[in-house]
Each structure stands twice: as C-alpha cells, then as structure tokens.
Structure 1
Amino acid sequence: MRKAILILFVILLGSCSRIERTPKPDPFFDTQEMADIMTDVYLVEGSMTANRKSFAELGIIADDYIYQKHNIDSVSFSNNFNYYADRVDEFLLVLDIVDEKLAVIKDSVNTRQLNSKKPVTNITPANLTKIPDSLKSSIKSYPTESK
C-alpha cells in the first residue's frame, strides 16, 4: 500500500512540474502600460459600483470604454492579463504601480474636495448689519420699524 501511494505521489509531483506558462502575447503591454490599463479598470469598476444606474442611463459599457481609451481589444487585454497572472512577481509589480496611481488620484480628489468646501455662514440677527437711518430714506420700499 505504501509503495502505491509513493508511486502515485511521484507521478503527481512529476505531472505538476510540466505546467506551461502563458507565452508572451503580441502585442505585449509592458508593466507601465498594463498598470495604466489596470488603474482605469479599477476606477471604472469603482465608479460603476457607486453609481451603476448612471452608467446604464448613459449607455456606457465599461470594457468598451477602457479598450477605446487605450486603443486595445479584449483579446490582447485578456492575453496580457493571463501573461502577468502566470508571473506573480511581475503582476505584483504592476499592482504596486496601480496602488501608487490610485493613491495619487485619491489625494487629488480629497484635496479638491477640501478646497471646494467654503465655510457656510449662518445668517442670524447678530450677523446682520443695521441699515443706517441716512440710507433708509433712499430705499423706497424699506419697511419702517414698529416700536
């Protein structure tokens, strides 16, 4: 019984050693180009998650948008994605670049949001400036104060 298990284990181990990796696709996207594409993929997917209804109303198809923006097709993207997925170290490098790009975008958006928020002044009687009596006579429709 032990011999059968050992033989089966050796056969199984030997069969796993001949796994072929995806060949280098044509056209090939270098790490920077793949990171640019993947950054857009994450941005579009995040936008769709946040507001899927707007994408549907505008007729935007996320995949088509990315393919047109980067002037690629679905087959070349899929082949390059599989190529990088077979090479974990290279894929992690691509994802590190994507993380850096997304962090820069996030900081930019946060900065813009902070800069666009102006303090709102509440109008209260203490904030109002009284109109001097000399100007009241020049304003025809100014109501007189009742005492």
Structure 2
Amino acid sequence: MRKIIALLTIVILFVSCKEEVVNKPERLIEKDVMVDIMYDLSILEAIRNQNPASLDTFKINSRDYIFKKYKIDSAQFAKSNVYYASDYNEYKSMFEQISKRLEANTKSVDSLVKLQKKKKNPIIKKRAKQTKIGRDTIKLE
C-alpha cells in the first residue's frame, strides 16, 4: 500500500509540473517580436536616462512609440510579458538575445566614435601648427 501511495505521489508531481502557470493570452505577441519590442524599449530607456531632453525635445513617449510601431496595445503587451515571464528559462533566453544585440551595437558605436575621433584629431593638429606659425591668433590647448 505504501509503495502505491508513493508511486501515485510521484506521478502526480510529474503531471502537475507540466501544467502552465499562466494561460496563453488570446493575442499573444510572437517571441521574436517580443524580443524586438523589449530591445527597443531598452534603447529608449537608455536614451531617456542619459539625455532626457532629447526625447522631450521631440515629444516622444517611449511606450506610445513602441505601441504604434508594433501595432499593439498596452494590455496585449502586458499579458504577453506576463506569459513569457512565467517561464523563467524562456524569459532568460529572451534577455540573453537582447543583451547580445546591445553588446553588438555598443561595439559598433564604439568603433564609430573612434573613427570620428581620428577624423577630428588631424584638424586639431593642423590648427595647432598654424597657431605656432602665427597664422591664427587663437591658441588651442
């Protein structure tokens, strides 16, 4: 009798673990699109934190912009977000994808900044030479 109860308990545990914690919403946003949305939101949040005036100048509300861009509403986004967050491993993989994209963009921006600095340096050196010769009255430091 004890063996039967133990076996039934184990079977019930395995069956109960397969059950979804959150029901799938009617208008679920696809996983790839959800990753794109969360990526865009992270970029806009970074802009808002680094330079809030830039978004205010153009009167951009990051959430409204995202909802219009992806043709979704706030309820659809919230329900989809809760659904994906209920599966920890899936949600973690989504954030890893976002993180990889952000790192790739950071590298490309850094390389562009380095190129821009290289382009500016010859001009500064040329002006410094002109200052030494006396062609310019303002000295650069």
Per the normalisation by structure 2, the TM-score is 0.70
Cα deviation digits, residues 77-103 of structure 1 (max 9, x gap)? 101110011110110011011011111
State the shift of 1:25 in Å.
1.7
Whether the 8 Å contact between 1:31 and 1:93 is mirrored in structure 2 is no
Give, in whole Å, the separation in 2 of the partners of 1:71 and 1:108.
29
Q: Percent identity?
A: 27
- Residues 85 and 114 from structure 1, CA distance in 2 versus in 1: closer, same or farther, beyond 3 angstroms? same
Give, in whole Å, the separation in 1 of the partners of 2:21 and 2:92.
17
Aligned to 2:128: 123
Unaligned regions of 5+ residues in structure 1, if any? 1-16, 129-147
State the shift of 1:126 in Å.
8.8
Aligned counterparts, 1:30-109, within 5 A: 30-109=30-109
Aligned length: 114
What is the letter of the counterpart of residue 129 of structure 2?
T
Structure of larger gyration radius: 1
Unaligned regions of 5+ residues in structure 2, if any? 1-15, 134-141
State the shift of 1:31 in Å.
2.5
SS in 2 for 1:47: helix
Aligned counterparts, 1:17-36, within 5 A: 21-36=21-36
Q: Which has the higher contact order (CA 8 A, sep 6+)?
A: 1
Aligned to 1:139: none
